[in-house]
Structure 1
Amino acid sequence: MSGIIGICYQNGRSIDRTELERITDSIAHRGPDGSGIWLEGGVGLGHRMLWTTPESLKEQLPLVSSRGDFVITADARIDNRDDLARQLNLTLSVDIPDSALILAAYEAWGENCPTKLVGDFSFAIWDKRKRAIFAARDRIGIKPFYYHYREGRVFAFASEIAPLFQAADLEKQPEQDAIREILATFAIAHGRTLFKGVQRLPPASTLMLCDGNLDVRRYWEPIAGQGRRKPDLAGHIEEFRHLFGEAVRAQIRSAYPIGCLLGGGLDAASVLCVAARLVPDRTRLSSYSMVFDLLPCDEREFIEQTVQQTGVGECYHRGRRGPRRGLGRFAGM
């Protein structure tokens, strides 16, 4: 969970460095491990860093491409690093952060680059050649991306809504239709928020701002199964086991001890059991669980069975009374 912000003035106004630093620091809670800004004329990008993976420990954002044509700020965790490196003819090492892979993918495939990425990401690239901003969000929408656009004046984006009010001189006004929708249906359209003038980039979507035109497109849709397939229970089990294991393996790429949120259900228990096989060093893997003494639902019996099965350390957080043992710093699953 890092934080990104960006401002693009379209009325000739220049970015003030002090103001850009202040707005970037307003999301310091998303990234306590460092900050950076880049600005040129009326375009400015900011970043707050949270170290999680080994590659992120050396990452400096915003990042300028080797030829100086592109600048990126990103909140990203790319899981298909090896595959991307092969496609891009790169020699992969811990010195190549995920943001550099995204930049290389953009240089190679342009606006189609998100289709090549596997992982959780939201990023924005300033393309100096086109004088354009290109942004994208992962397929499920794990990483947030909010934006405001006033044609001919300003485009601003951020990982959270609050910085947009500062970056775009935007007045806080409720979006009544969105409020009614969420109260009536407990759901809200992917592109809308509760504030007028603030949009959310939907999952699996890209955004391009070029020559004053803002274009948002979907780059991926889930594909429904076509026709009826002959039942093959053993094959389905094997395929699920493989995909599930690969998903867990991707999440344990960490520079820190790994924490698994554990409840009494099969989903979290399955994740922890697979992680325990992939991380034999028990000092690097722990579970933590929320329990509530005053509620009738108590999952501790099932939690403890999973903990005993895996042999990992456990930590209970009892409502608001605080943890039994300190959590420390985890790259959580």
Structure 2
Amino acid sequence: MAPDPNPNPAPTADTAVLPDALKGHWVDTHAPLRWRPFLKLARMERPIGWWLLLLPCWWAAGLAAIAAGRPFPDPWHCLLFLIGAITMRAAGSTFNDIVDRKLDAQVARTRGRPLPSGQVTPKAAAIFMVCLSLAGFVVLLQFNGFTIATGIASLAIVAIYPFMKRVTNMPQFVLGLAFSWGGLVGWSAVFGRLDAPAYLIYAAAIVWTIGYDTIYAMQDIEDDAIAGIKSSARLFGACAREAVALCFALAVLLAGSATWLVGGGAGAWLGVGAFAAHLGWQISRLRAVTPPIALGLFRSNRDAGLLLAAGLALDGLGRITF
């Protein structure tokens, strides 16, 4: 038998690991080859996205539990938020990739994605997106009528977001409007209405999103300039670190204001403090940014958000008397 002339072939489009994917993720190592392009459309090997969509829901659920005098957030609501975040992040990412497939082909980090690389057709992606959206709608139907209407209202922002990088230097603001919507839904799921703490935690999540997504966009500044893609990282330029610091400071201030309005105790304030400390650590690392550092800091916002969520969720337990 003749020896294989190429014993170490380059990875195919189906098996290549995308640059911002978690290394060794089950999607790239164990999922059936036919499923992988669709799982990558859904960003399953990049779970940070659904975490960042989920966390404002959990923040608001924690605040609502404190305001309602409950020992902890409703576990059923928190589970539904988790399922909904995974499902709707997958649907939103698929829509974003359909719209951006030609731009993605011009950026090194994104040209290997399923649509620009030809692994999935736009029609198949659209069908996949509709199925995911229907699943997300079923989750939404488990809540009260006001929350259902609030959730549906977010679709308008989700629909326009992919086009914003073509028309504004701050697409991160529109992303914040969409990704922070859970701050409203998490509160309305308990009270069937929106109150000041919900608006404050929503605003906190918006500026937090602008901050962390500016860090994320630092990976692509050169390619974005060539492709004509607008971003806050390009807008802020040499002042990006200061701009991110301002966003993070506002996020802490607004989250603290929401905590104060609901009468948060020691646990809640400990969460706010830990959140602030983590964001401060991120700013300290932004002095000399390389793409790997930017990606790592962006991903670390899951932990920052979980610190705040944990403080809010556990605050009520500290008030129980036995």
**TM-score, normalisation: structure 1:** 0.30
Q: Normalising by structure 2, what TM-score? A: 0.31
Higher helix fraction: Structure 1 or Structure 2? 2
> Higher relative contact order by CA 8 Å / sep ≥ 6: 1 or 2?
2
